[in-house]
Structure 1
Amino acid sequence: MKGIVFCEFLEMVESEDGFGMVDRLIESAKLPSGGSYTAVGTYDHAELVALLIAYSGQKNLSVPELLRAFGKYLFGRFVVLYPVFFENKRSAFDFLSHIDSYIHVEVRKLYADAELPKFTHRVLDHNRLELTYTSAKHLPDFAEGLMRGCIDHFGETIELNRQAVVFDGVESERFTLTRS
């Protein structure tokens, strides 16, 4: 997993609970990297899971809740850090339907060794979009948080439903987005 994800997670923790909390999480998680991350580095995603578990215990929130909250937060940071990704995107559906064909292509230009999830989209009708998420890391709550961050960014009212599915023989999550 790219270091930017770790750096932004620790920034979120610091902004909510201060640097002391970041220090306690790194210490209690016993991370192989020692908790020292660079945005362009690559780290075992198990370290993020260890940090989430440690933070979960401090916040009295479940890991899935934290992953969704972090996904929303990270989407907002992506808007600031990578504004070019949002040029000419007028809606959440427009943005989300271009994750694999544009966004991830551009991410690979920045981070050639990035291990990205796969998003397959299908337009059901003008007001419904289906996204199927497949990832070896299996972080569907994080993906859901990113989608909710996208919906918030575009200021739309969209209902998001999710179900576990098998897609191309692999355990996946299917998200159905319905615009009001």
Structure 2
Amino acid sequence: MKGMVFTEFIDMVEQRFSPELMDEVIEAAAPPNGGAYTAVGQYDHHELVKMVVELSARTGVAIPDLVRTFGEYLFGRFHQGYPHLFEGMGSAFQMLSSIESIIHPEVRKLYPDARPPHFDIGGDGVNTLEMTYRSDRHFGDLAEGLIRACIEHFDERIALAREDLVDAPGSVIRFVLTRQNA
């Protein structure tokens, strides 16, 4: 997993909780590098999982809630750091539909060794959008947080339903977004 995800997680915890708590989390998780992450480095995603587990134990916030919150935070950071990806995007459906055609190819240009999750996109694209998330890293809650933040960013009335597809290998989740009438 790209180091940028780790550095952003550390920044979020330091901002929302405290630098001291982040130090405790890193010490307890005991990553091989001692918690010294660089944005361009590549790290085992299990290190992030250990830090989330330690953060949950210290805050009492459920792991899925922490990961969704991180996804929401990360969306804001993407918007600040990569504004060109948002140019010409007029709606959440338009942005989310472009994940595999525009956003992930851009990610791979910036970070050739990145392995973003895969999304199968369906629905009519007008009133409904179906996104099937596939990843062997099981960060569906992170994806959900990113999706929720995207909806909020465009200030749209969109209902989000989630279906974990347990019979599928790895982490496969179907997100169904439905426009709500005003």
TM-score class, shorter-chain normalisation, is over 0.9
Deviates more, 1:13-22 or 1:44-53: 13-22
| CA distance 1:169–1:69, change in 2 (3 Å) | closer
Query: In the alignment, what sits opposite 1:16?
Result: 16
1:115 is aligned to 2:126: no
Q: How does 1:11-50 map to 2 (within 5 A)?
A: 11-50=11-50
TM-score by length of 2: 0.94
Whether 1:79 aligns to 2:86 is no
Aligned pairs (5 A) from 1:57-72: 57-72=57-72
1:167 Cα shift?
9.0
Amino acid in structure 2 at the alignment position of 1:133: Y
Q: Deviations along 1:36-77, whole A, 9 cap, x unmatched?
A: 100000000000000000100111111111110000000011
Number of residue pairs matched by the alignment? 180
Specify the code of the residue in structure 1 equivalent to 2:144.
Answer: E
Counterparts of 1:166 and 1:97 in 2: how far apart (Å)? 24
Structure 1 residues 125 and 89: CA distance shift in structure 2, 3 A: closer
User: Per-residue deviation at 1:171?
Assistant: 5.0
The alpha carbon displacement at 1:99 in A equals 0.3
Aligned-partner SS, 1:124: coil
TM-score, scaled to structure 1? 0.95
Q: What one-letter code is carried by the residue in structure 1 that aligns with 2:40?
A: V
The one-letter code matched in structure 1 to 2:74 is L
Unaligned residue ranges in structure 2 (runs of 5+): none
1:123 to partner: Cα distance: 2.5
Note the C-alpha offset of 1:165.
2.5
Counterparts of 1:125 and 1:101, CA distance in 2: 15
State percent identity of aligned pairs.
Answer: 50
> How far apart, CA to CA, are the structure 2 residues paired with 1:91 and 1:104?
18
Aligned-pair distance for 1:33? 1.9
Question: Is residue 139–residue 171 contact of structure 2 (8 Å, CA) maintained in 1?
Answer: no
Offset at residue 164 of structure 1 (A): 1.9
Q: Indicate if the aligned counterparts of 2:136 and 2:170 stay in contact, CA closer than 8 A.
A: no
Query: 2: CA distance between counterparts of 1:57 and 1:178?
Result: 35
Distance 1:125 1:93, change over 3 A: closer
- The Cα of 1:21 is off from its aligned counterpart by 1.1
CA apart distance, 1:170: 6.0
